[in-house]
Chain A
Amino acid sequence: MTAELSMTLAILLPLIGGGIILAVGRSPNLREAVTIVTSLLLFADIFWLAQSGVVGSNPTMTWAEPIQGLTIAFTLEPLGLLFAIIASTLWVLTSLYSIGYMRANKELKQTRFYTCFAVAISATMGIALAGNLLTLFIFYEALTISTYPLVTHKGTLEARNAGRIYLGILIGTSISFLLFAIIWTWNIAGTLDFVKGGILEGHIEGPFVGLLLGMYVFGIGKAALMPVHRWLPAAMVAPTPVSALLHAVAVVKAGVFSVLKIAVYIFGVGFLADTGVSIWLAYVAAATILIASIIAMTKDNLKARLAYSTISQLSYVILGAMLATGIGVIGSGMHIAMHAVGKITLFFCAGAIYTALHKTEISDMDGIGRLMPWTMGAFFIGALSIIGLPPLGGAWSKWYLALGAAEADQLILIAVLMISSLLNVAYLLPIPARAFFLPLKDEPSLENLDGVAAPKVTRREAPLIMVIPLCLTALGCLFLFAYAGAIYDLLAPLAG
């Protein structure tokens, strides 16, 4: 097993798995087995890649040369490895969760769901391993296209309209801004490779640097920087497993990952710091953090609140990238991991609540802690991680982001981070608090999933296959607190 083979497998395994899923779609159990096996194989592959330590030598591989001088090439480097680890690990858990969710809610068109999921993961791996901007762009667009059927899964009018916003914003920004910025970069730098220290130094100066950077950051619509954020709440119309992995982990993380990669490997941290052009974007990110948090507080729909929370948290990563300091970059990378695990826990819980109790609005969720102690317990842990309190992982990433802001002399941004934590408390903690400490709102229609009414209020979690993943991700938040050091060591070369 060489590094190149491992990287090739990382992209091809989910793709082949998706093809097999499509072929065996008629036998649900076989199909589900293929999904699980594929996700486990991918996890094993990435695990091998991680523990082999080859990331230090940046192995590369090239697939084709579609344009003279530009190749479809892949390079393994710390950020990409971290992203790949997160995505592959969480795919295993999400596969288990989705099986439970899709069957319990008797969703239609499940084969298409699992197929597109696998293709989307393949695209995510392509983004994680991309060695130049062309490759990144190819898989970025592939991710948009492959997640469209997932977002519009329900096939209703609402889903179709949400799909229009989703596709419209993501393709609109990627074609008008991102592709423009990429070709502009190609034109002035003569290369699109990701190189430590950036490729733009000396080729561009003055206000154009800020303009180019802005085109990149707004062109990467998946990073959900305001005002190109509207697709995220619109995409909540999708089934919760889609929201959980793709929109808490894969799609949005691909966005901020791309922003971070461009900041570090196309512009270069030093170049950005010297020119100081990224600070205006740091402030846009700060504004997004605060505004999205405030909007989150006004939302009664749980998934909508979590969506705006995600928008806010993504801007943490953008903020860290735009601070143009080494420690800020590490904080951003770390936050990609911390937020992913925390947010997926929250979405898993939202799906479990819907599956078990058919509740979607927070105001209906008083007292459900008695019915679903494990779920709400996990929710509480996930919420603490998002808020950024020890002993959960989110504390570390916030810490390093604050250090980055300090190093960049942007004390206002430290204040923004602190205020944001308070806002997070305001919109997240009431949910488990009300669930545990308030009495049940009304006698809910507590039929079993078979339709038989239960005699009295009794514990009723979602199916075990859904509850186990969400407990595991909650434990993950604790685990990451202890092992943040490993992430720090992995990302340290970026700070140089």
Chain B
Amino acid sequence: MIPVHLPVLQIVVPLLSAPLVALIGSRKLSYWIALIVSISAFAMSADLLLAVLSSGPISYALGGWAAPWGIEYRIDMLNGFVLLVVSGMGAFTMMFARQSVAAEIPDRHQALFYACYLLCLTGLLGVTITGDLFNVFVFLEISSLSSYVLISLGKDRRALTAAYNYLILGTIGATFIVISIGLLYMVTGTLNMADMAKLLPDLRGNSVVLAGFAFFIVGVSLKLALFPLHIWLPNAYTYAPSVVTIFLAATATKVSIYVLLRFVFSVFGTDFSFNVVPLGEILMGLAIAGMFIASTAAIFQDNAKRMLAYSSVAQVGYIILGISLATPEGVGAGILHLFNHAIIKGGLFMALACVFFRTGSVMISDMRGLGHSMPWTMAAFVAGGLSIIGVPLTAGFISKWYLISAAFDLGLWWVGLLILLSSLLAVIYIWRIVETAYFNVSDEGTVEKLVDQEAPLSMLLTLWALVALNVWFGIDTSLTADIANAIGVYLTGGGA
């Protein structure tokens, strides 16, 4: 049994800690508050997920006002799982963050930085936990606005333009979403997702509903960086402070994917979404295009962060591909990769954060010989890279296996082949960094002077904890794959 108010505490604790941090204004204290809040948020998410797994969905009426008039927080297996991912990566990021933030963010802004981070965390958790459609929009905006601020705090001057670009595009996406919510509210008279799911089947032929559906899909696709609506992502990830990139890469797109899942499967149902609207074909086509084009773009990048950003677009493609199959196995595989990718990408960006902390650069050409001067950091990078490629005994392999298996189950062997071929592109872009780091000889034949400076122990410990998780979830998948597959069955089988 969980404490009655745990669902709302999951939101209230980070939400209230944000202005607290801003008011206190102390650099050191704000870090520790952020860390404690992140860890307690993770503990709450774990508790909620365990409760859901043992006794079914939890429903909480905010302020005691019953749904559908009041706002309802509804936690089932899907968002319990996603809550875990978001809060877990938040906790890991904070465990890593202290020295990185101290080095990259000006002193006078650090308290505000942590305040914005806490707001972002609140927003992401709120999107995930709520059962009310407009509430989704509100929290989505909270998380987006705070992430624009976080990105703009990057050292590079281009961080400002990257944040601005993301602001414009993100607002367009959010506007599409709110237009959709308006249209659907107009027709159904409710904002509660469970309630709407009951009312929608009667409104099948209604063109307003179709318009609302379309607006929402486009809006959320922009938020989750589905090709070709991914334009904001590379710059945003590249120029943001290292810690921000770690956090956003692991959580922002995942939460938007969750919103897509909830909308498509729980609110509208598989039948409408995939039979009436050809969503499966559209998503599959765009996902595959994203996988190849983004992976190819990654190969030609000189900035390691930008390379990983394009890699993220490709990986989102894999997740959407799984979802587009609309079978329990396919959706399960997509959700599994949602979890695994958060850990993998978080780890990779953490390694780059260590590199930036010591060398001040994330350009691949500046990484010559890093394998010898920062052996632990680069070893962690290689481990993450192998997981992106999909080498066995890593989490990435498990995702790929389930994804290809799901495609085969539908007879779509060519999809399986495409997934494998795009993995080869990952080999190329990951190996570029491996070669540069471990081979001292540049093409001109000079040997770089090696500076022996490994990253600080606290950063390395968190980094290697993520690497260990990566390997763990490549061998023991009972937490990840079993739950993901159960969610797949649940989503495709029934409604909300």
Residue ranges of A at the interface with B (Cβ–Cβ < 8 Å): 64, 66-68, 72, 134, 137-138, 141-142, 145, 152, 155-157, 159-160, 163-164, 167-168, 171-172, 175-176, 179-180, 183-184, 186-187
Contacts and interface: CB of A to CB of B under 8 A. Distances in A.
Question: 6 smallest A-B Cβ distances: which pairs?
Answer: A138-B392, A187-B408, A160-B439, A183-B404, A64-B475, A176-B420
Contacts of B477: 66-67
Interface string B380-419: 0000001001111100001001101100110001001100
B424 A157 contact: no
A157 B481 contact: no
A192 to B, nearest CB: 11
B488 to A, nearest CB: 12
Interface string B40-82: 0000000000000000000000000000000000000000000
Contacts of A155: 438-441
B421 interface: yes
A180 to B, nearest CB: 6
B485 A68 contact: yes
A179 B441 contact: no
Given A67-B401, A67-B402, A167-B427, A175 B417 contact: no
Given A141-B391, A175-B424, 5 more contacts: A67-B398, A67-B477, A157-B441, A172-B427, A175-B390
Nearest to B400: A179
Contacts of A66: 398, 474-477
B280 to A, nearest CB: 20
A67 B398 CA distance: 7
A138 B391 CA distance: 8
Contact of B443 (A134, A137, A157): A157
A172 B421 CA distance: 8
Contacts of A175: 389-390, 420, 423-424, 427
Contacts of B409: 187
Contacts of B424: 171-172, 175-176
Contacts of A141: 391-392
Contacts of A184: 408, 413, 416
Interface string B421-440: 10110010001000100111
B482 A68 contact: yes
Contacts of A137: 392
A179 B420 contact: yes
A167 B438 CA distance: 15
Nearest to A188: B408
B445 interface: yes
14 contacts: A64-B475, A67-B477, A68-B482, A134-B392, A141-B391, A141-B392, A152-B439, A155-B441, A157-B443, A171-B427, A175-B427, A176-B424, A180-B404, A183-B405
Contacts, number: 78
Contacts of A156: 441
A205 to B, nearest CB: 16
Contacts of B420: 175-176, 179-180
Contacts of B445: 157
Interface string B134-149: 0000000000000000
Contacts of A152: 439
A176 B420 CA distance: 6
Contact of B405 (A138, A157, A167, A186): A186
A172 B420 CA distance: 9
A194 B351 CA distance: 40
A171 B431 CA distance: 12
A68 B486 CA distance: 12
Contacts of A72: 475
A305 B398 CA distance: 41
A68 B476 CA distance: 10
A145 B391 contact: yes
Contacts of A186: 405
Contacts of B427: 167-168, 171-172, 175
A234 B398 CA distance: 32
Contacts of A134: 392
Contacts of B474: 66
A118 to B, nearest CB: 17
A183 B476 contact: no
Contacts of B417: 176, 180
A222 to B, nearest CB: 16
B435 A160 contact: yes
Nearest to B403: A183
A145 B405 contact: no
Contacts of A64: 475-476
Contacts of B485: 68
Nearest to B431: A167
B443 A138 contact: no
A145 B391 CA distance: 9
> Which of A66, A134, A159 has its CB near the most chain B CB atoms (within 10 A)?
A66
Contacts of B481: 67-68
A184 B431 CA distance: 28
Contacts of B393: 138, 142
A157 B435 CA distance: 10
Given A179-B420, A187-B405, A145 B386 contact: yes
B84 to A, nearest CB: 20
Nearest to A70: B401
A352 B100 CA distance: 52
Contacts of B398: 66-67
A176 B416 contact: no
Contacts of B435: 160, 163-164
A156 B441 CA distance: 6
Nearest to A187: B408
Nearest to A177: B420
Nearest to A109: B372
A164 B443 CA distance: 15
> Which of B389, B441, B443, B476 has its CB near the most chain A CB atoms (within 10 A)?
B441
Contacts of B482: 68
Contacts of B475: 64, 66, 72
A185 B474 CA distance: 21
Contacts of B413: 184
A164 B436 CA distance: 13
B401 A183 contact: yes
A273 to B, nearest CB: 27
A183 B416 contact: yes
> Which of A138, A142, A164 has its CB near the most chain B CB atoms (within 10 A)?
A138
Contacts of A171: 389, 424, 427
Contacts of B416: 180, 183-184
Contacts of A157: 441, 443, 445
Given A141-B391, A145-B391, A156-B441, A176 B421 contact: yes
Contacts of B392: 134, 137-138, 141-142
A301 B393 CA distance: 39
Given A141-B391, A171-B427, A183 B408 contact: yes
A67 B409 CA distance: 16
Nearest to A149: B438
B343 to A, nearest CB: 15
A155 to B, nearest CB: 6
A156 B391 CA distance: 26
Contacts of A183: 401, 404-405, 408, 416
Interface in B72-112: none
Interface in B436-483: 438-441, 443, 445, 474-477, 481-482
Nearest to B421: A176
